[in-house]
A and B are shown apart, each in its own frame.
Chain A
Amino acid sequence: MTDLHYLSISEAGALIAKGDLSPVEYVEALLARIEKIDPTLDAFLVVAGEQARADAKAAEAQISGGNYRGPMHGIPYGLKDIIDYAGLKTTAHSKLLQDNVAEIDATTTAKLKAAGGIFMGKMATHEFAIGGPSFDLPWPPARNPWNTDRHPGGSSSGSGAAVAAGLLPGALGSDTGGSVRHPASICSLAGIKPTYGRVSRAGVVPLSFSLDNVGPLTRTVADNAIMLTTISGHDPRDPASARADAVDFTADLDKGVKGMRIGLVRHFYTEDLDAQPEMSASVDGAAEILRDLGATVEEVSMAPLCEYAAVNRVILLSEAYAIHEKWLQERPGDYAHFTRERLMPGAFIRATHYVQAMRHREKMKNKFAEMMRTYDAVITTSSMQVACRIDDEPEVERTYSRQSRTPFNVIGNPALVVPSGFDGENMPLSVQIAGRAFDEATVYRVGHAYEQATKFYEQHPPVD
C-alpha cells in the first residue's frame, strides 16, 4: 500500500475496520514521515513515538479480537500543546510553562483515547495561543508546508502544518479569535470552530474563558465531522459546557444543499476589508458552485467587521490579562515579544469597556439568530490573503488581523473553513461557512457538498 500518509481518516478507518490496514503499519509510516519532514516544518514539539507504537499494537489486538470501537480506532492524531495529555508537559509553547506536567487528560484527550485514537505528539502553537510566530522562545515556530518560508497561520500552527503535510490525518487546535480556522485557511485544510460550549475546554490552557473553543483540523470535511463527533458532548468539568444532545455529525453529510438558503456576506471582503483578488474570486466562485448544486444564495449583511473585531479584542484581552497579569508583572522577559505586545492592552481596558463589549456581544448574537431564521448557513471569506513570509514581522502584524473569523467567536456560532483553490504562487485560498448555534451538521453538509464539487483536498504541498 502506498501513500498511507495521505489517507483520510475515513479511508484509513474503513481499511482498519476491515482488517486491511494495520494500525501498527500506519503509525510506523507516519513516524517515518515525521522524522523525514518535520525538521523542515517544526510542527511537533514532542513526538510520542514509543507511546504511539504501544497504543497501535493495543488497537490492533483489540480490533482483531472483535472489539472495534468506531471510526477513530487506530487513527493517529496530534494535540496542540495547550491541551493536556496526562504525564506529559503542556507548555503552551512558552518558557513560563516549560516544566508544567499534566496530571490528568483534558476531556478531549480522554475522549480520543476512549475512541481508540493513537496519540502521536504535541504540536507547536503560538505562545499561549496568542503570540507568534515567534523566534524568541525555547522552540522554533512551525512553518507552512506549501512554502516553508511562509507562516502556517495560528495559533494552532503545528496542528495545521502537520496535517497539511501528511504527518497526521487530524489534530486538535483551539479557536478564540480564529486560531483553528486561520491555519486551516492558510494550509488548505478543513477546520471548525464549533458552537461555544459544544466541546469541553477542561484541561486546556485558557486564553479567554468566554471565547475559547477546541476544534479539529483535518484534510477533509468528513474527517472533521468524525473528530468533532468524537470530542463533543456535555462535560461537568467545564462550567461553560452545553447540555446539547450528542450528534453524529457524519450522518447528514451526503444530503447535499438542494433547496437550502445560503447567505453570502460579501461586504466583509469587498467593503469592510479589501481581500486579495484571488481570495474574493474564490468565495464568489463558491457561491456560484453552491447555486449550481441547488442552493439559493443571496447577499446578506452583518455588522461591519471592525465592530466584531473590537468587541472580540476587548473581551479576549480583558480575560487574557486576568490570566497573565501576575506573570506579566513579575516575569515579562519570559514571554515572546509578540505575546507581551498582544497581551498588554488588557492592562488598560476598563471594566466598563468589558461590560459594554459583553452587551454588544448579546446584541450581535441575537441579530445573527434573527437573520438565520431565513437562512440555513452563510458563506464568506476567512483570511483576506494568503500567508506572508514568516520572518516579515510588519507584514505578519498587518495581515493577521485582516480576517473575518472573529464575528463567529463573538456570537459563538459554528464556523467551518474549507479549501477554495490556490493563488498564482500556489498558496492556498479558503472559504468560510457559518451556521446556526449547535447546527454544525448543516455547516458540515454545505462544506462537504462544496468540497466534493471542487476536490481541492486532493492537492498536497511540495514537501516530498
Chain B
Amino acid sequence: MSNPNDALKAEAEAVGLHKLEGRHWDELQKALDAKQKHTRGMPDNLTIWDEPAHVYRAGDEA
C-alpha cells in the first residue's frame, strides 16, 4: 500500500505519525485492526464501583 487512502493518512496525522511511508501504511492498517480487536475483546462486566488495579498513593503509609 504505497499510496494510503485519505482516511488512513488522516488517522496517522491525527496522532502525529507524519513520517510514515511505503510499507508503514500496511503496518498501520494492521495496527488499527489490532487496536479494534484488543479494545473490543475486553469483558463487559464492570460496575461503577470497580477500582483500577493501580491507584495513586500520596505516600508509603497510604
Contact = CB atoms under 8 A, between A and B. Distances in A.
Interface of A: 210, 303, 306-307, 309-311, 313-314, 317, 325, 328-333, 337, 340-345, 347-350, 353, 355-363, 365
Interface residues of B, number: 31
A362 B53 contact: yes
B39 A329 contact: no
Contacts of B34: 313, 342, 345
Contacts of A348: 11, 15, 31-32, 35
B38 A310 contact: yes
A355 B48 CA distance: 12
A413 to B, nearest CB: 13
B17 interface: yes
B52 interface: yes
Contacts of A360: 42-43, 46
Given A337-B27, A359-B50, A328 B43 contact: no
Contacts of B18: 329
Q: Which of B11, B31, B37 has the most CB of A within 10 A?
A: B31
B30 A314 contact: no
A313 B33 CA distance: 13
Contact of A345 (B21, B38, B40, B45): B38
19 contacts: A210-B53, A310-B38, A311-B42, A329-B19, A331-B19, A333-B21, A337-B27, A341-B30, A348-B35, A353-B39, A353-B42, A358-B54, A359-B46, A359-B51, A359-B53, A361-B52, A361-B53, A362-B51, A363-B46
B39 A314 contact: yes
A325 B37 CA distance: 21
A347 B15 contact: yes
Given A210-B54, A342-B34, A349-B35, 7 more contacts: A307-B41, A314-B39, A333-B19, A348-B35, A359-B50, A362-B50, A363-B50
B42 A310 contact: yes
Contacts, number: 96
Contact of A340 (B11, B24, B39, B42): B24
B59 interface: no
Q: Which of A317, A332, A337, A349 has the most CB of B within 10 A?
A: A332
B33 to A, nearest CB: 9
A345 B27 CA distance: 10
- Secondary structure at the B interface, as helix, strand, loop or mixed, is loop
Given A340-B27, A344-B31, A348-B32, A314 B17 contact: no
A341 B31 CA distance: 6
A330 B21 CA distance: 12
B24 to A, nearest CB: 6
Contact of A325 (B16, B27, B31): B16
Given A359-B46, A359-B53, A309 B41 contact: yes
Contacts of A332: 17, 19-20, 24
Contacts of A306: 41
Given A348-B32, A349-B35, A359-B52, A329 B16 contact: yes
B13 to A, nearest CB: 11
A258 B21 CA distance: 60
A307 B46 CA distance: 13
B57 to A, nearest CB: 10
Q: Which of A309, A330, A343, A360 has the most CB of B within 10 A?
A: A360
A307 B37 CA distance: 11
> Would you list the 6 A-B pairs with minimal beta carbon distance, nearest first?
A310-B41, A344-B31, A358-B52, A345-B35, A341-B27, A361-B53
Contacts of A210: 53-54
Contacts of B51: 359, 362
Contacts of A358: 52-54
A303 B17 contact: no
A313 B40 CA distance: 11
A347 B17 contact: yes
Contacts of B38: 309-310, 313-314, 317, 345, 349
Contacts of B20: 332
B16 to A, nearest CB: 5
Nearest to B37: A310
A333 to B, nearest CB: 7
A402 to B, nearest CB: 14
